[in-house]
Amino acid sequence: MSPLATLRRMHAIAGAPLLIASFLARLPVSMALIGTLTLVTVETGSVAMGGLVSGAFALGETIGGPVIARFADRRGQRPVVLLCSLLDAALIGALVVAVFADIPAPGLIALAALGGLLMPQIGPLARSRWIAIATRRAAGEAPGERERSVSAAMSVDGVLDESGFVIGPALVGVLAVAVNPAASVVGAAVLMGVFGALFAVHPTALPGAPSAPGGAHRLTRLPLLVLTLPMFCQGLFFGGTSTGVTAFSQEIGHADLSGLMYAVMGVSSAVAGLLMASVPPRVTLTTRLRLAALTLSACSLLLLAAPGPGTLVAAMLLLGCGIGPHVVTLFSLCERAAPAPRLAQAMTIMLSSLILGQSLGSAVAGRLAEDVGHQGAFALTAGAATAALLAAVAAVRTRWYTSPAGRDHEAHAPARP
């Protein structure tokens, strides 16, 4: 399928209103993290304090995401996502008030951790919803229609996720300059409360499924657990790359270029992700993963050799060609490995691995950039890409992902929208 055909198929699966709501409900994930860092740093005058509060938010999100998804799998997406969206919007708003009220550091950290803990991971929940809808639509159709629809859904949803991580920080920067650093955090709260609720109450929300006796729906299965390794490496990659680009831009006296360079990578990543739906089925998912990881590893070396802004932009453009396919394929493999009634939780664990890796990568790369310059941060990028390649080659086995692990998608698929 061409990128346009992929978009059309996804539009047929989900419809524009639901796609828009799911995209806007994801923006608070990145907006709240970066907006909190900016707001606390500006108001307290301490970068360290901003990092602590933002880190608490990220840690809470990493821990809370799989728990919320577990409840959504058991009790249904509608009540869980609706409650979490409204509560999280209130907590993020309370955090803004607390910052201006000069609440002591432990209070700010606690509020931020709670805000992260209750952040509904719309991306993973949306992916499980798309897969269930695609499965229902494919019933009675030609063989292979389900796989084509799922491939289109994973491609488009990967683009939505990555676009959110590009647009979210950009919105924070614009609102901080045009209005106030608090505006971005308040905006995140509003987006979460409004569009998270809309996503929750949409008729396609998946109902809950009871746990199977005897541990039939366990997530502690090797084919699923090994996927967290390359996803964690992808997070390290993101943390090292974003920090390295920022450090490089500052070193050449054009800090305003960092966002543009990162956006270039986002564009090529989005296009490459959409093209994944065009790959013939005979090319296995594990082969796609290894090729994508190889692209990341080879192109990341260009970052170490890039002497100027032009060549760095070219390197970022090439890197994006590996990022989209790598992320999309990892989530597609997760869909094959996870039991259907716990798919949302499995997807959220994958995203938590990414967030954890990105947080750790940003912290380590920041120290390396301070000590040895942007090359230190880019060395982490190259190391993470190489580790992802090693994991894809040595740990991921093709025979584990020949068909979906949970063949009961029909049991809790929603009615066709």
Residue 26 to residue 65: CA distance in whole angstroms: 13
Distances in Å between the Cα of 364 and the Cα atoms of 45, 51, 227, 358, 410 are 22, 13, 23, 10, 44
Residue 295 to residue 278: CA distance in whole angstroms: 18
Residue 405 confidence (pLDDT) above 70: no
Min mean pLDDT across 143-157, 190-204, 400-414 is at 400-414
Tens of pLDDT along 268-278?
Answer: 888 888 888 78
Tens of pLDDT along 39-74?
Answer: 887 888 876 687 788 778 888 888 898 899 889 888
pLDDT band at 216 (very low <50, low <70, confident <90, very high): low
Mean pLDDT of the chain: 83
Residue 67 to residue 262: CA distance in whole angstroms: 32
Residue 412 confidence (pLDDT) above 50: no
pLDDT band at 326 (very low <50, low <70, confident <90, very high): very high
Tens of pLDDT along 381-403?
Answer: 999 999 999 999 999 998 888 76
Phi, psi of 277, rounded to the nearest 5 degrees: -70, -15
Residue of 45 and 291 predicted with greater confidence: 291
pLDDT band at 217 (very low <50, low <70, confident <90, very high): low
Across 327-350, average pLDDT = 85
Give the per-residue pLDDT at 51. Answer: 73
Residue 56 to residue 47: CA distance in whole angstroms: 14
The percent of residues in the chain predicted with pLDDT above 90, rounded, is 30
Residue 164 to residue 169: CA distance in whole angstroms: 8
Task: Please name each of the domains of the chain with its CATH number.
Answer: 1-144+177-210 (1.20.1250), 219-404 (1.20.1250.20)
Give the per-residue pLDDT at 47. Answer: 63
Distances in Å between the Cα of 245 and the Cα atoms of 136, 252, 253, 369 are 44, 11, 12, 10
Give the per-residue pLDDT at 410. Answer: 39
Residue 161 to residue 356: CA distance in whole angstroms: 16
Give the per-residue pLDDT at 407. Answer: 43
Give the per-residue pLDDT at 209. Answer: 74
Closest CA to 355 of 83, 37, 122, 57: 57
Residue with tokens 């805000």: 115
Give the per-residue pLDDT at 9. Answer: 81
In contact, 263 and 296? CB cutoff 8 Å: no
Give Cβ neighbours of residue 61 (< 8 Å, ≥ 6 apart): 29, 116, 117, 119, 121, 352, 355
Residue of 142 and 226 predicted with greater confidence: 226
The percent of residues in the chain predicted with pLDDT above 70, rounded, is 89
Residue 417 confidence (pLDDT) above 60: no
Residue of 81 and 280 predicted with greater confidence: 81
Residue 149 confidence (pLDDT) above 60: yes
Q: 0.85 exceeded by the pTM?
A: no
DSSP sequence for 81-138: HHHHHHHHHHHHHHHHHHHHTT--HHHHHHHHHHHHHT---HHHHHHHHHHHHHHHHH
Min mean pLDDT across 203-217, 291-305, 321-335, 358-372 is at 203-217
Residue of 311 and 234 predicted with greater confidence: 234
Give the per-residue pLDDT at 101. Answer: 93
Tens of pLDDT along 125-139?
Answer: 988 888 888 878 766
Closest CA to 392 of 317, 333, 318, 311: 333
In contact, 244 and 382? CB cutoff 8 Å: no
Q: How many CA atoms lie within 13 A of 211 on its CB side?
A: 8
Give the per-residue pLDDT at 95. Answer: 95
pLDDT band at 259 (very low <50, low <70, confident <90, very high): low
Residue 7 confidence (pLDDT) above 60: yes
3-state DSSP call for residue 197? helix
Give Cβ neighbours of residue 209 (< 8 Å, ≥ 6 apart): 73, 74, 340, 341, 411, 412
